[in-house]
Structure 1
Amino acid sequence: MNARILALHGGLLALLLVLHFVLPVYHHGNLARIMVLACYAIGYNLLFGYTGLLSLGHAMFFAAGMYGMGMPFHHLGLGAELAFLAGIGTAGALALVVGLLALRTLGVAFMIVTLMFSQAFYLMILLAARWTRGDEGLVLAGADRVLFGLDLTDPDIRYLLALGLFALCLSAALWLVRRPFGRVLVAIRENPERAELLGYDIFRHKLAAVVVSGMFSGAAGAAYGLMFGYVGASFAEVHFSIFPLLWVLLGGAGTVIGPFFGVLFMFYLIDISSGLTPAYMLIAGVALVLLTLFAPQGLAGEVRRRWLRWLP
């Protein structure tokens, strides 16, 4: 792999590690959340940015990972390690089923079908209130949130585990998009007819992209629930499917590093503007419109277009 690419992505991880020792408490906690959510955005980017499939239902995979972890953890006393794997497995299985059905459609129809599946999943969470606690959600006992002997209620441990998960997702995404599989996904995005003419199985590659994307998102959901001790239906709502789309567009669709900067930018844009006025969404909306107008390829996308052509 190109040394410049490794240096750039490794430099970001090194910077995040250094920030662990110097950030004030408030920003330290924020950055831990941002890194977990960035894993969710990376998963979405694999489907949208690299494969060209616009989903409006990705919250169901994030929530599937969260509830797939949280319910056996809360009700069955399953250990955090196995519960985390159960969350990823649940999200992957759901992504496989949804992919097999939704990929029978194209374009806008795919977007609508994924939205419908997501809404059905959200309603299922509410209707199964006996186990999910409905709108109240599940509060995971702090004393039980121990992963490989590490106390997840400790902010320092939580930050380092969030960094570890982000490093794993970032590295896996970088490896995937630079492998032949990733090149085929880009070919499908650019010209599916030509890719099919070259002998590639379009449906199989799209299905694999949906499953991998769902597992990334499920890992983020399971980690979020474990680290912050709450599993709630709000994470399955429509707006939580819109967020990753905005994060990827702002950071740069089709760039490995872009989703992180999209999450970081939007998180602090809302955080800062909410401290200035109750109409903070108006400020956030104006800023997003300006960024879209003057940096249409997103933050990392514009950097790639203007200066770093080799940026993956």
Structure 2
Amino acid sequence: MRPETRALVLHLGVIAGLAALYPLLPTYHQGNLTRILVLAIYATGYNVLFGYTGLLSLGHAMFFGAGMYGLGLPMQHLGLPALPAFVLGTACAATLAAAVAALALRTAGVAFMIVTLMFSQAAFLTILYFTTWTRGEEGFVLARGARRIAGLDFSTPDVRFWTAFALFATALLLTLWMARSRFGHVLVAIRENEERTRMLGYDVQSHKFRAVVISGAFAGASGAAYGLFFGYVGATFASVQYSIFPLLWVLLGGAGTILGPLVGTAFMFYLINWAQDLTSAYMLVAGVVLVLLTLFARAGIVGEIRKRWLGWLP
């Protein structure tokens, strides 16, 4: 079997496994799986930029927040239906990503990281400034009756999961297709040696710009879905910690791997839950585990599996 076919079969198997796992889980873990899938879309988008293109951003919370507020504000203040609000939220994040990319990509390396962090902080402070509409750190709750699309009520657990599942499966397969495409190969070439890629005649800036926009759109779709599914929109989701989380998820799961974001998100989610049961200093316990994993599995969980046993994994 060709490596491309193996990869497709594996990823379709993972998607089928998630669908089969959900009915077997207790109610609590069913809810957790839904959250993990929504956040894994966010991590998948971040992986496009960091894992495949080699651009380290500390500002992705602004795209997640743009998707969430792009959905939530029109629903709350204008009575916009959920479906067009979801599309609008994703479009807001992609548009913001394009604007940020046009400016931030004039820099490189550490400067790019700092510029994205500054833009993200500006977006966070903007949310706090317009408290009259955004309710600042307190946030606001979306009415249950408004969270419906084509008769589907997103306040019910099963509808939430299967919609999150469909969105994640789409994101996963799109990323797999992109990684195998010419565009994906150029992104990897930029990550490995940007100057050589430019010398070969590729438009490096154009490819990096598109990578930022795609990554921002994924993050925005995740933020919009989170607000729609769980009915809450708040400034916390646009803060610095939500820029650090996707970086940790991708590093833990394996940067530059298709399944790494899902594995890293699930690992981090349950690590923090487990540590909370042990002590109030749960972030200290989680931090120690993360440091050990980073030291002894530098390529991440899926990255180590690829390096040691399954070299054909994308």
Segments of 5+ residues of structure 2 without an aligned counterpart are: none
Separation in 2, partners of 1:10, 1:104:
39
Of 136, 161, 166, which residue of structure 2 is paired with 1:159?
Answer: 161
Of 4, 10, 17, which residue of structure 2 is paired with 1:2?
Answer: 4
Separation in 1, partners of 2:56, 2:30:
32
| Amino acid paired to 1:76 | L
Q: Which residue of 1 aligns with 2:199?
A: 197
TM-score by length of structure 1 reads: 0.99
Tell me the CA shift for residue 147 of structure 1: 1.7
RMSD over aligned Cα atoms: 0.8
Separation in 2, partners of 1:79, 1:181:
35
1:230-268 CA-to-partner distances (Å, cap 9, x unmatched) read 010000100110000000000000001100000000000
Separation in 2, partners of 1:69, 1:177:
29
Q: How does 1:37-48 map to 2 (within 5 A)?
A: 37-48=39-50
Q: Which residue of 1 aligns with 2:289?
A: 287
Q: Which residue of 1 aligns with 2:132?
A: 130
Q: How does 1:89-128 map to 2 (within 5 A)?
A: 89-128=91-130
Q: How does 1:1-312 map to 2 (within 5 A)?
A: 2-312=4-314
Separation in 1, partners of 2:153, 2:304:
40
- 2:278 is paired with a residue of what secondary structure? coil
Tell me the CA shift for residue 14 of structure 1: 0.8
Tell me the CA shift for residue 144 of structure 1: 1.1
Structure 1 runs of 4+ with >6 Å offset: none
Separation in 1, partners of 2:136, 2:163:
29
| Amino acid paired to 1:116 | M
Separation in 2, partners of 1:157, 1:2:
33
1:171-216 CA-to-partner distances (Å, cap 9, x unmatched) read 1111111110000000000001010001001111000000000000
| Amino acid paired to 1:142 | R
Tell me the CA shift for residue 135 of structure 1: 1.3
Tell me the CA shift for residue 131 of structure 1: 1.2
Separation in 1, partners of 2:181, 2:4:
13
- 1:310 is paired with a residue of what secondary structure? coil
Tell me the CA shift for residue 134 of structure 1: 1.0
- 2:201 is paired with a residue of what secondary structure? coil
Separation in 1, partners of 2:263, 2:22:
18
Tell me the CA shift for residue 73 of structure 1: 1.1
| Amino acid paired to 2:292 | L
Separation in 2, partners of 1:287, 1:311:
26
